[in-house]
Amino acid sequence: MYDFQYHRPTSLDEASRMLSGAEEASFIAGGQTLLQTLRQRLAQPSDVVDLGGIAELRGISREGDNVVIGAMSRHNEVAGSADVAGAIPALATLAGGIGDAQVRNMGTIGGSIANNDPAADYPAGLLGLGATVVTNNREIPADDFFVDMFETALEPGEIIRSVRFPVPQRAGYVKFDQPASRYALVGVMVSQGAGGVRVAVTGAGPSVFRVSEMEDALGRDFSADAIAGIRIPSDGLNADIHGSPEYRAHLVTVIAQRAVNAALQAH
């Protein structure tokens, strides 16, 4: 690990000033990715700005037809929230299936989506529920937030404040995970709400993506049988020791059907 200056601000304004005044700074939230990167000397920031001391970035609340989750809320806090479980049980399920107990006690929703790992769970949750990312500068719809592998629409110095989830009529999240890491080989969030049906897939490609053909079919008939015959192309999907692109393409349909059944059983 290289030397760096450590800062722990207590407000967003202070965090922004620390970032702008540094030669090359990085924010740290839960540290589940950045700390490993630093230990392996794969990154060399001049300054690390810890967001853990900013109270306004925490908290979970029901606000009308939305559930608002502060960026520094831990995964286990989301999984155990009565507001989340009562309004969007699929989101509580998603959070409760991330990593292991240690990861869930440290990792944050803001850190997860800012990192945008191709196999992370939360990107499917945001895109599949039509969420909005609220930063210190603006609001970014999930459809515009996730750009590519480890890339988002965040601008330099922009800080995620919270994520606003509209409460759906029904939703389900299911993933087929890699047993050691519990990262998703394929994870699917399916929801039906005021904005229609959304189907978002994580783990299969370089970044989370929607499947419009499944959305159209489920809009006509919200059942697992309605998407049983839909196959997505394997071109451009991820390939590693755990699964080929063709295997992941097959899994998308299987897991999407299970997510539909989970949504029907939960409501």
CATH ID of 5-53, from 2.60.120.1440, 3.20.20.70, 3.30.2350.10, 3.30.43.10: 3.30.43.10
Amino acid 85: pLDDT: 97
| Full DSSP string of 88-109 | -HHHHHHHHTSS-HHHHHH-BH
Averaged over successive runs of 10 residues, the pLDDT of the chain (267 residues) comes to 83 84 77 74 80 93 97 96 97 94 91 94 98 96 97 92 98 93 93 96 98 98 98 96 96 98 91
**The two three-digit tokens of residue 207, written as one number:** 């970044």
**The two three-digit tokens of residue 156, written as one number:** 């330099």
Angle at 151 between CA 138 and CA 79, to 5 degrees: 75
Residue ranges covered by each domain of the chain: 5-53, 58-266
Amino acid 6: pLDDT: 86
| Cα–Cα distances in angstroms (integers) from residue 153 to residues 30, 75, 139, 222, 259, in the given order | 20, 23, 11, 32, 28
Amino acid 25: pLDDT: 76
- Give the largest Cα separation in the chain, rounded: 57
Amino acid 57: pLDDT: 95
| Cα–Cα distances in angstroms (integers) from residue 231 to residues 14, 212, 249, 263, in the given order | 49, 12, 7, 21
- List Cβ neighbours of 164 (8 Å cut-off, separation of 6 or more): 63, 66, 67, 68, 131, 132, 134, 139
- List Cβ neighbours of 14 (8 Å cut-off, separation of 6 or more): none
Amino acid 62: pLDDT: 97
Amino acid 179: pLDDT: 85
- Cβ proximity of 224 and 172 under 8 Å: no
Say what the pTM is: 0.94
| Cα–Cα distances in angstroms (integers) from residue 35 to residues 30, 38, 74, 134, in the given order | 9, 5, 17, 25
Q: Using CA atoms in the order 78, 80, 85, 91, what is the torsion angle rounded to 10 degrees?
A: 40
Amino acid 267: pLDDT: 67
Which fold would CATH assign to domain 58-266?
Answer: 3.30.465
